Structure 1
Amino acid sequence: MSTVDSVIFIGYLLGIVLFGSSFYRKNKSAEAFTLGNQQIPSWVISLSIFATFVSSISYLALPGQAYLTNWNAFAFSLSIPFATLMAVKFFVPLYRSVNSPSAYTYLEKRFGPWAKVYVSVMYLLTQLMRAGTILFLLAIMLNALLDWDIVTIIVVTGFSVMLYSLLGGIQAVVWTDAIQAIILIGGALVCMVTLLVDMPEGPGQLFQIAAENQKFSLGDFGTSLTGSTFWVVLIYGIFINLQNYGIDQNYIQRYMTSSSEKEAKKSALFGGLLYVPVSAMFLFIGTALFSYYTANPGLLPAGTPADKVFPEFIVHRLPVGLTGFLIASVFAAGMSTISTSINSSATVILTDYFKLSPDNPGSNRKSMRILYLASFLISVFSMGIAIAMINVQSALDAWWKLASIFSGGMLGLFLLGFLSKMVNNAAAIVGVVAGVLVIGWMSLSPIFFPGTALEPYTSPFHSYLSIVFGTIAIFIVGFFLSSLAYKTIKKG
């Protein structure tokens, strides 16, 4: 990057850290750290929910996927209105009635401590891997652009996000999220307009080339469950987004920061729906990149991977100044996700594992120490995972997959408790075990069984459906066993 672009990017990074850290004076209690004293404007929370959903992975992956294939990924976005409506109708009122900073207090009340421990541990493992992965990907991108040392980038970025997350609490996180959401949307708009006006024969050429190559297709509308059809992606999106809006601490904590249930519903609805047009914009950028490089043969270096096409365009085809702004927007997406993971994880650790009564002298001071220490440790572990990924990605990929398998039972357990009041603890435990086994079989058997005597027993279904079948298995097994026990007791 040019000196101007580097100054813009570094200025953005310093500005975000200073702005987030400025909330330190308002962050003197556990309630302020975890809930912002429930005084955060709903529009800020809406943008924070949106920014939490968008990571730097999706900022780069969606254009890459549209460049390589088509708009099949948009089927996932089309599932979000359903999930947000469920959040407004059921999830927000439920969690506001429980009135706890942790999403998992409800499961403890419904099934006991084991449910809270299972779900919270899976959540924490997932957040560690998520934050570490994003730190690693941001470092790889900046290393390619500036040739800076990868470990240095990871440490500087990690400590920058940790600093304002730790000092400013949830208020710093959601306000910086709001700024970062505006920056990443603005960056995408700038890039989209640039692609339209830079086509050799005008904007119409972009649509003509894309249409001739079926780049606006939503994918196969067949009923096969083995491929990434429109229906498979849509169903996968419904279940994943029900998990996000129904059981994920990152989202539930934001419902609780609103001043009222009405404001929380408004934030959940608009924060979720905003992703639909923005994801369409990301996909359009990928389609536009395909048309742009098709109309300008030779501009794109041979062998450039699909997920590197967008960064290649940002660095070499945008005017000086805009490149720094676009790189900042990609970093904004990553930083918002990492800061959310840090604050939400610290909140879960305090609320679910340290029950400090507010009536006890010094409890607030102890709570703040726990929150600060938890934020620090989550940040350090995330940086450690990011650094480890430089050389041992295969082992960490396996850990990530295993964490995803075990966390796949979270939605099923929540739905089991929420939809059926007769389900008991024993039935819920057996249901979760059955669901995790189904998810494990669908996720791992295609990897380990091919070429062995067990090959006929590999899952024939697309991996997207693992959470779908796993969740259904948990609900059916748990409900059936509870019904059976109820009938037996009634007859006896």
Structure 2
Amino acid sequence: MKSFSAWDYVVFAALFVISSGIGVFFAIKERKKATSGEFLVGGRQMSFGPVALSLTASFMSAVTVLGSPAEVYRFGASFIFFFIAYFFVVTFTSELFIPVFYRSGITSTYEYLQLRFNKPVRMAATVIYIVQTILYTGVVVYAPALALNQVTGFDLWGSVFATGIVCTFYCTLGGLKAVVWTDAFQMVVMVAGFLTVLIQGTAQAGGFYNVWERAKNGSRLHIFDFDVDPLRRHTFWTISVGGTFTWLGIYGVNQSTIQRCISCKTEKQAKLALYFNLLGLWIILFCSVFSGLIMYSYFKDCDPWTSGIISAPDQLMPYFVMEIFEMMPGLPGLFVASAFSGTLSTVAASINALATVTFEDFVKSCFPHLSEKMSTWISKGLCLLFGIMCTSMAVLASLMGGVVQAALSIHGMCGGPMLGLFSLGLIFPFVNWKGALGGLITGITLSFWVGIGAFIYPAPDSKTLPLPLSTDQCVQSNMTMTIPPETSNRPVLAETWYSLSYLYFSTMGCLGCIAAGIIISFITGLQNGKDINPLLIRPICNIFCFWSKKCKTLCWCGVQHDSETEQDYLENGSAWKQGAEYALQNGLRQGTLTHDPGFDPKNKSYSNMAPESQKITYL
């Protein structure tokens, strides 16, 4: 075990000081705008640049910095196929989900579910999201703490709590603006940390050609595996298809993502943020994959994991960094700062999102007439509460194995059914609230059944065994990794259902939710399309504008998609938003909603001169 130099501590401490400083800056700067809207969604005045950097930093967390290179080191560079998944995820999010969420004027993503279905569906989805996010955040708090413990010997849990305290501090003080701008700074730190590893690692390995040849000879570049077997851990199909479903559950309908997109000034800015974020995702993906190949080239003849030098694959990257930067004070500190940057951004975004959905979906529903001052204080208190809860959940993360698989499994088991639920609302106008709730329960049951089963009965070694690793040149190679023998008393499902690739957990949950929702809706009576506001529906045929009008009408299932309502919103969106807010605050389900020039947003009332036909109608 090597230790930090004084310069390493300086670089590492600077990350925490600057991050906290940004929170203090926005707390002072925005003190005269003390409203819950400013605190939770930045007054909806953010530009696409910092939002794009924030989105990339939040989801390319320490799980990526530490886990992804270790995955490539052990299983090969097939991880690069995630670039396909990222492309489809960003495209679907920007063209399918964002237009509906942005135009609805919602703050919590789950407000949409009440507008489209009813309040019980909204509450159920909110509870699932809160559980999912707390579990996931526990993993990303634990990961960099493990790295710090490995390279410096610092107390593991002391690091966990220090991380949680700093995140909670600047998130509670500065709100969403502090989260976004701190993320932008931390994204720069992450890229800088990766670049130093790429440059120095390549030099230590003898150049790019040597890295490539060694990776090729070690089978790390055999990435074109088109085996359709869903039990295989990583193939082209599991990564591109399963990865798309997994990350679409994270991006498309996740409060943390949507909250930052709807904080943008315009819908166009929100879409630009997502597409620029795609470039960031590709850059970080390339950096992590090539870091894994460099690490394999460096340890080709002496694998520190199988030789017993380190105790877990997630410690490979920090051990590698301490090896190549042994004579360069400050650079190990930069790498660990980059790992912590990912964690700080992810945790802060999660805390802010959790506070938002709790305030909007529970607090405002119970107390609709809170003053702005009280709303802001409650929002800050919720940030503090969830900061404590997320930090505490890191203890559980230490029992969940590899950080990448653990993190994506959590998102898959919860995010897949949630993706299915929102897809039912947006794409299938005929689905009713009973189908939505039944589909959600079915999807959650399926995904947790396979996820928990896979945790209890890990997949057979033939499906998950790493590529060959050598210890021939190790000074002490008598400590080798032992692979537990496969037992013969495994249940039948353990060889099939429970051995499903973890990237398909989300797919099963999503498709199960959609199928069950459609079937239950047909059994219980289809939703009348005339009762649904067209702005809440976005059938997939909208993307293919060359389809005939008759086909579009059929897909809309009776929803008045060509009515004046849709065009009226685009011209007079503020009245629509105010009417939607009034409906939500008063526990009403929104039906046909048209612009009323006589609607007074301040008093939530109509002028006597407004024609009856123009008023907002509620069901």
TM-score (norm 2): 0.73
Matched to 1:14, the amino acid is V
Aligned counterpart, 1:463: 502
Matched to 2:316, the amino acid is V
Matched to 1:203, the amino acid is F
Give the one of 319, 344, 348 matched to 1:335.
344
Shift of 1:214: 2.5
8 A Cα contact 1:358 1:364, kept in partner: no
Correspondence 1:370 to 2:375: no
Aligned counterpart, 1:354: 363
Taking a change above 3 Å as real, the CA distance of residues 446 and 92 of structure 1, as seen in their structure-2 partners, is closer
Correspondence 1:384 to 2:418: no
Deviations 1:130-184 (A, max 9, x none): 2222222222222233322233222222111111000000000000000101110
Matched to 1:477, the amino acid is A
Taking a change above 3 Å as real, the CA distance of residues 163 and 289 of structure 1, as seen in their structure-2 partners, is same
Structure of larger gyration radius = 2
Matched to 2:218, the amino acid is N
Shift of 1:448: 5.3
- Which has the larger displacement, 419-428 or 164-173? 419-428
Unaligned 5+ segments in structure 1 are: none
Taking a change above 3 Å as real, the CA distance of residues 455 and 210 of structure 1, as seen in their structure-2 partners, is closer
- Which has the larger displacement, 447-456 or 175-184? 447-456
Aligned counterpart, 1:413: 421
Matched ranges for 1:371-450 at <5 A: 371-387=379-395, 405-446=413-454
- Which has the larger displacement, 467-476 or 350-359? 350-359
Shift of 1:486: 4.3
Report the Cα distance in structure 2 between the residues aligned to 1:278 and 1:195, rounded to whole angstroms.
17
- Which has the larger displacement, 340-349 or 33-42? 33-42
Shift of 1:71: 1.4
Shift of 1:446: 4.6
Aligned counterpart, 2:268: 262
Higher fraction of helix:
1
8 A Cα contact 1:80 1:273, kept in partner: no
Report the Cα distance in structure 1 between the residues aligned to 2:305 and 2:366, rounded to whole angstroms.
61
Deviations 1:192-229 (A, max 9, x none): 011122224x3321111112222223252112121122
Instruction: Report the RMSD for the aligned CA atoms in angstroms.
Output: 2.9
Aligned counterpart, 2:313: 306
Task: Give the number of equivalent residue pairs.
Answer: 483
Report the Cα distance in structure 1 between the residues aligned to 2:368 and 2:441, rounded to whole angstroms.
39
Report the Cα distance in structure 2 between the residues aligned to 1:157 and 1:233, rounded to whole angstroms.
31
Correspondence 1:97 to 2:103: yes
Report the Cα distance in structure 1 between the residues aligned to 2:166 and 2:333, rounded to whole angstroms.
18
- Which has the larger displacement, 246-255 or 228-237? 228-237
Give the one of 252, 276, 280 matched to 2:286.
280
Matched to 2:6, the amino acid is T
8 A Cα contact 1:98 1:105, kept in partner: no
Matched to 2:124, the amino acid is Y
Report the Cα distance in structure 2 between the residues aligned to 1:94 and 1:321, rounded to whole angstroms.
47
Unaligned 5+ segments in structure 2 are: 458-487, 529-619
Report the Cα distance in structure 1 between the residues aligned to 2:131 and 2:357, rounded to whole angstroms.
12
- Which has the larger displacement, 456-465 or 436-445? 456-465
8 A Cα contact 1:83 1:242, kept in partner: yes
Report the Cα distance in structure 2 between the residues aligned to 1:411 and 1:255, rounded to whole angstroms.
17
Shift of 1:356: 7.3
Aligned counterpart, 1:141: 147
Give the one of 65, 71, 79 matched to 2:71.
65
Give the one of 473, 476, 483 matched to 2:515.
476
Shift of 1:74: 2.0
Aligned counterpart, 1:40: 46
Give the one of 177, 181, 187 matched to 1:181.
187
SS at match of 2:77: coil
Matched to 1:474, the amino acid is C
Aligned counterpart, 1:7: 10
Shift of 1:488: 12
Structure of greater relative contact order (alpha carbons < 8 Å, 6+ residues apart) = 1
Give the one of 194, 207, 213 matched to 1:208.
213
Aligned counterpart, 1:251: 257
Instruction: Percent identity, please.
Output: 25
Shift of 1:480: 2.6
SS at match of 1:237: helix
Matched ranges for 1:45-60 at <5 A: 45-60=51-66
Report the Cα distance in structure 1 between the residues aligned to 2:109 and 2:164, rounded to whole angstroms.
26
Report the Cα distance in structure 2 between the residues aligned to 1:345 and 1:487, rounded to whole angstroms.
33
Shift of 1:22: 1.1
